[in-house]
Copies of this chain bind each other. A is one copy, B any other.
Amino acid sequence: RREEMARSTQLIDNEVFRAYATYTAIVLLKMMLMSLVTAYFRMTRKAFANPEDTASFGKGESAKKYLRTDPDVERVRRGHLNDLENIVPFVGIGLLYALSGPELSTALLHFRIFTGARILHTFAYLIPLPQPGRGLSWAVGYSVTFSMAYKVLKTVWLL
């Protein structure tokens, strides 16, 4: 039992892995928040995608008019999809990076810049901020993931 505990907490005892765990949990929670923002806009804008979602607004034609797209809802959905497209590579490559033995300070720099960039990206998308605000925050996160992938491939191929 104790031996198993030791084994199971091994990775989590590693400082870089712990940093990875923290920032991965944060960006994934941030991504999950987009579902709530979408739900909020769907309800306040009364714009739904499924007939069964509008049933409480009445029957037939009176409910049908709420089956529509709304610019605010679509904006949040684009932000959510952009999160998926960028946070999935971060989580996958970040895990390999954390296991490739980087310096803690370098790893923290990568994780923190990515997390900050994605939070900025969300604000830039939802407010919305004028370009190139959103574009730049996207590019920063993208570059961080790229940098981690470079470190992973370098480590793997040199071993």
Q: Interface of A with B (CB < 8 Å)? A: 4-5, 7-18, 21-22, 24-25, 28-29, 31-32, 34-35, 49-50, 52-53, 55-56, 74-75, 78, 80-81, 84-89, 91-93, 95-96, 98-101, 125, 128-131, 134, 138, 142, 145-146, 149, 152-153, 155-157, 159
Contact B55 A100 (CB under 8 A): no
Q: How often does this chain occur in the complex, in copies?
A: 3
Contacts of A8 in B (CB 8 A): 14, 16-17, 98-99, 101
Name the one of B92, B131, B146, B149 contacting A55, with C-beta atoms under 8 angstroms.
B131
Residue pair B131, A21 in contact (C-beta under 8 Å): no
Q: B159–A25 contact, CB under 8 A?
A: no
Q: Kindly list chain B residues whose C-beta atoms are within 8 Å of the C-beta of A84.
A: 84-85, 88
Kindly state the separation between the CA atoms of A82 and B4 in the bound complex, as whole angstroms.
36
CB distance from A122 to the nearest CB of B (A): 14
A146 near B29 (CB under 8 angstroms)? yes
Distance, CA A63 to CA B140, complexed state (A)? 27
Whole-angstrom distance from the CB of A93 to the nearest CB of chain B? 6
- Give the complex CA separation of A9 and B97 in angstroms: 10
- Residues of chain B within 8 A of A92, CB atoms compared: 24, 28, 91
Which residue of B is nearest A159, CB measured? B18
Set B17, B99, B134: member contacting A52, Cβ < 8 A: B134
Known A28-B149, A32-B89, A89-B32: A96·B52 in contact at CB below 8 Å: no
Q: Which residues of B contact A85 (CB under 8 A)?
A: 31-32, 34-35, 80, 84
